[in-house]
Structure 1
Amino acid sequence: MATRKTPYTSKNWLVKVLAALVPGFIFTLGLTGVVGLLCHTNGNPQSASGQYLMWLTALVWSTLLSTCFLFRSGRQAWGYLSLGCAIVWAAYFLLRSTMA
């Protein structure tokens, strides 16, 4: 039984962009927190690790904003990015509790 896949379209572009803006930004902040915990940064924006984290945030979020159109639907974009958010934040809280 062959499954029919929906083609990529420009429909629902606003929903896809909103998915990259809202859960994409929350995902980016969580990822930055995980990397910050793993790098043992102190949060000082003048340190090299602080600068790395600030530029990492811009890079990841702009990548999400530019690739959000590759999802087949707005619902799929919201689903995957929300799931990624939950995973990254769970990893952050788990790391924070074990490293403290």
Structure 2
Amino acid sequence: MLAKTFAGILLGCPLSMAVIGLVVYLWPGSSEAVLMPWLVAFFPLWTVVIAATFMFRTGVRAWGWLAVANVGAFAALFLAKHTLPGL
């Protein structure tokens, strides 16, 4: 149980940051108009990720899947920033 909690806290935070960053970056129009609502949405998203870690059977699976999700989210953010016309 403790491993799942720490996985949600330690890997859920950067995952939520990457998802919010990707959404803000890909949002049509000016990012300044949507930045504040998405920053406010960061904390509920992080809470959902923390709660979702308890659906895994073991803490090792939670760490593994959240690590893979982090790599995927940051890779998508990196690709979006370097291939799409940006801000």
Q: Deviation of residue 66 (structure 1)?
A: 1.7
Residues 43-82 of structure 1 deviation map (CA, whole Å, 9 limit, x = unaligned): xxxx4x1222112211210101222111100000000000
Match of 1:93 in 2: 78
The number of residues matched between the two structures is 83
1:24 paired with 2:12, answer yes
- When normalised by structure 2's length, the TM-score is 0.87
Q: Deviation of residue 27 (structure 1)?
A: 0.5
Instruction: Please tell me whether Structure 1 or Structure 2 has the larger radius of gyration of its CA atoms.
Output: 1
Match of 1:54 in 2: 39
SS in 2 for 1:55: helix
Distance 1:64 1:71 in 2: 12
Task: Point out the structure with the larger helix share.
Answer: 2
Residues 8-61 of structure 1 deviation map (CA, whole Å, 9 limit, x = unaligned): xxxxx111010001111111001011001111513xxxx4x1222112211210
Structure 2 portions without partners, runs of 5+: none
Q: Deviation of residue 95 (structure 1)?
A: 0.2
Q: Which consecutive aligned stretches of 4+ in structure 1 deviate over 3 angstroms post-superposition?
A: none
Match of 1:65 in 2: 50
Distance 1:18 1:76 in 2: 12
Cα RMSD for the two superposed structures: 1.2
Match of 2:2 in 1: 14
Distance 2:38 2:21 in 1: 9
Match of 2:26 in 1: 38
Structure 1 portions without partners, runs of 5+: 1-12
- When normalised by structure 1's length, the TM-score is 0.77
